[in-house]
Chains A and B, each alone.
Chain A
Amino acid sequence: MVDVARRAGVSVATVSRVLNKTKHVEPAVESAVWQAIEELDFAPNQHARWLSSGRSNVVGVVMPASEDSSHSRFLLSLSSALRPRHLEVMVALSDGERGAERGLTGTLLQSHVSALVVVTPSVDARMRALLSGSDVPALLAFNQDSSARIPAVTFDDAAAATALAAAVPRRPGSVAVLSHGTHEKSVADRVEGFRQVVSERTGTEPDVWECTRAMDDAYRASRELFSRRPPSVLHTTSDYLAIAAIRAAYDLGLSVPDDVAVTGFGVNHYTFAATPSLTTVQVDGAELGRVCGETAIALLDGNDVPALQTVSFSLVPGDSCPLADPEGNPWPR
């Protein structure tokens, strides 16, 4: 660090301030320090920095172990957005259970992370208290806080579901929804989006069936649903569920989309494997990661950030459910 200070023509304390982002440093001085760091290929000792600053250059992320590929794109993009500020990402992996999530959040807060990003299916009062009671800047990703006390970056699940359901041409028969647990706000919002369109169109409520995230359970629930009263349209809250439902229809001799049209939600690794190809909604996980990274930096700089930022989604038309625009023209592929 002495070498860096000498090369940049500043004091060691200034180098430390730049590295640890503890105090304001003139932009010109800061860039001189970074230039010296690059020229000398200086790798600051993480641990020393951690101890000396009381705050690491680590942004903590609490998230569930997930096969959702948008989570992977989110993480990579978050890391890229933070890298120019020499901030690293450390992920605490939860099993999606609330107590574990709180425990991990507490551990990260105690580990002197500089900021915290929490990916959780639902935010309860205790998590809210934990996050808002800490002086570590925190934000939510893939979800939002109903009290708006914790800033959030998410996409609008209800709007996406509404857009998808509205793009499905009217057809005779009933509409059902297969959902993987409405206790998760994002999933509940999807169900609500589907419900709104159905009730506006038909004046009736859709049948809502619940299952777990497990593939076998989604298959079992789909079979039961189709065996009792096959709907002409089935909206699901994930592509995972849609693939199980299509297989259940196939095993019962129902044709997709002729007998029952099926929609998914959130493109993942399996989407490409669906037969017929899946009509679904794609969430831009990369954009979500980028906005989260920029928001975390804004929080670290002491700037105000919006309580809620939403990122874009797009409809992905496939063969499992034909889509049409409001004029009845087939949705462009």
Chain B
Amino acid sequence: MATMKDVAGMAGVSTTTVSRVINGGSASPAVTRRVMDAIDTLGYQVSASARSLKGKRSNIVGVMVVDVSNPSTTQTLHGITSVVHAHGMTVMLASTGGVPQEELASLEMFAGQHVSGIIYMGTQTREDVADALNRFPAPVVVGGQERGSLRWPIVVFDNYDAGYDIARELLGLGHRRLAFISAPLDDEHVGRFRLQGFLDALAHSGVTPPDHCVQYGDFSVEAGHAAMQRILDGSGPPPTAVAAASDTMAIGALRCLRDRGLRVPGDVSLVGFDDIPVAARLIPSLSSVALDERELGEMCAELLHRMTQREDTDVTRVVLGHRIILRESVTSVL
């Protein structure tokens, strides 16, 4: 069985440095890489229980998400893992389905594992979950949403501006009959803010969409399909442009429009959010509001790392930008 001294010898560093790397302390990327290579080569295994008995935290970062396979979540997770692994630490994931009981159980599990910190990406934080997060014994970073009742730093996109900007873009192309497939409103950031920005931009141009042209879905392809059906089944002519709060819901809407014999963009222009990798390769290629989910993950992980190192703890809010990418699915009606 390899010892820490063996690892230090192979990596050409002191055992203190090995310990620092294992415990998520500061070390240069090159040194971290050498130590991790030596650990891998020698098959050295760090004893999490031994470390926790000494009262230290493990080198585990807990991550809580709603759906591990949602494409935008996957991008965020890639960002998180790249940073966490670079710091020589491990990501433990809880995919909770957004169910509060699952979130509470996961928090208890993370506490039991002595995680060094948590990245929380829940969408509809119930008060008891917020309380449990606020009382959590290690630092927490909240990714992708904002809750007044959470005392931890957040990393978010400016969803109001993103909703506002895509509406302005569609208005600028002459669209006046517009529809929006929103995330649920209790998902405050992605739901309420994105929709409000969209509607405010329309209002500023004197456009008020009929009630049936604002529908809601849970980010899934199926929900996007169902929401599009409800929009098309409403009274009056169909919209000439539809924005969906996620590319996955836009994909569902695309399928629904095709099933109904409507052409995209000939009859209906369509835009999503997130710019997931497949968007550019669909037929027609899907326009999207690009939110760099990977950057969100990297930022959350870096911020959490600094907090675990007790650096820069005065950061309370990081706002990331967005970019509108128009592709084949959107056309002008001017």
Quick check: A102 and B40 within 8 Å, CB to CB? Answer: yes
Known: A215-B281, A269-B221. A103 touches B74 (CB 8 A): no
Quick check: B221 and A250 within 8 Å, CB to CB? Answer: no
Known: A95-B81, A111-B48, A215-B278. A103 touches B40 (CB 8 A): yes
Q: Majority SS of interface residues in chain B?
A: helix
Known: A58-B109, A215-B280. A93 touches B48 (CB 8 A): no
Q: Which of B227-258 contact A (CB under 8 A)?
A: 248, 251-252, 254-255, 258
User: Which residues of chain A are near B93, meaning CB under 8 Å?
Assistant: 90-93
Q: Which of B109-146 contact A (CB under 8 A)?
A: 109, 111-113
Quick check: A272 and B40 within 8 Å, CB to CB? Answer: no
Q: Residue among B68, B102, B280 with the most chain A CB within 10 A?
A: B68
**In angstroms, how far is the closest chain B Cβ from the Cβ of A287?**
16
Quick check: B112 and A47 within 8 Å, CB to CB? Answer: yes
Known: A103-B39, A107-B90. A269 touches B111 (CB 8 A): no
Q: Which of A26-34, A61-69, A137-145, A224-232 contacts B (4 or more CB under 8 A)?
A: A61-69
User: Which residues of chain B are near A58, meaning CB under 8 Å?
Assistant: 109, 112-113
Q: Which of B246-285 contact A (CB under 8 A)?
A: 248, 251-252, 254-255, 258, 277-278, 280-283, 285
Quick check: A106 and B45 within 8 Å, CB to CB? Answer: yes
**In angstroms, how far is the closest chain B Cβ from the Cβ of A193?**
25
Q: Majority SS of interface residues in chain A?
A: helix
Cα–Cα, bound, A109→B277 (Å): 35
Quick check: B251 and A272 within 8 Å, CB to CB? Answer: yes
Query: Is B94 at the interface (CB under 8 A from chain A)?
Result: yes
Quick check: B90 and A103 within 8 Å, CB to CB? Answer: yes
User: Which residues of chain B are near A268, meaning CB under 8 Å?
Assistant: 69
Cα–Cα, bound, A92→B84 (Å): 12
Extra contacts besides A43-B108, A75-B68, A214-B277 (14): CB < 8 Å:
A47-B111, A66-B68, A72-B67, A92-B92, A93-B81, A95-B78, A100-B85, A103-B39, A111-B60, A268-B69, A269-B248, A272-B251, A273-B278, A275-B283
Chain B contacts to A: CB under 8 angstroms: 36, 39-40, 43, 45-49, 58-60, 63, 67-71, 74, 77-78, 81-82, 85, 90-95, 97, 102, 105-106, 108-109, 111-113, 221, 225, 248, 251-252, 254-255, 258, 277-278, 280-283, 285-286
**30 CB < 8 A contacts A-B:** A46-B109, A46-B111, A46-B112, A47-B111, A65-B68, A65-B77, A72-B68, A72-B70, A72-B95, A75-B95, A76-B97, A89-B94, A91-B93, A91-B94, A91-B95, A93-B77, A99-B40, A100-B85, A103-B39, A107-B46, A110-B47, A111-B48, A111-B58, A215-B277, A243-B282, A247-B282, A247-B283, A247-B285, A273-B278, A273-B286
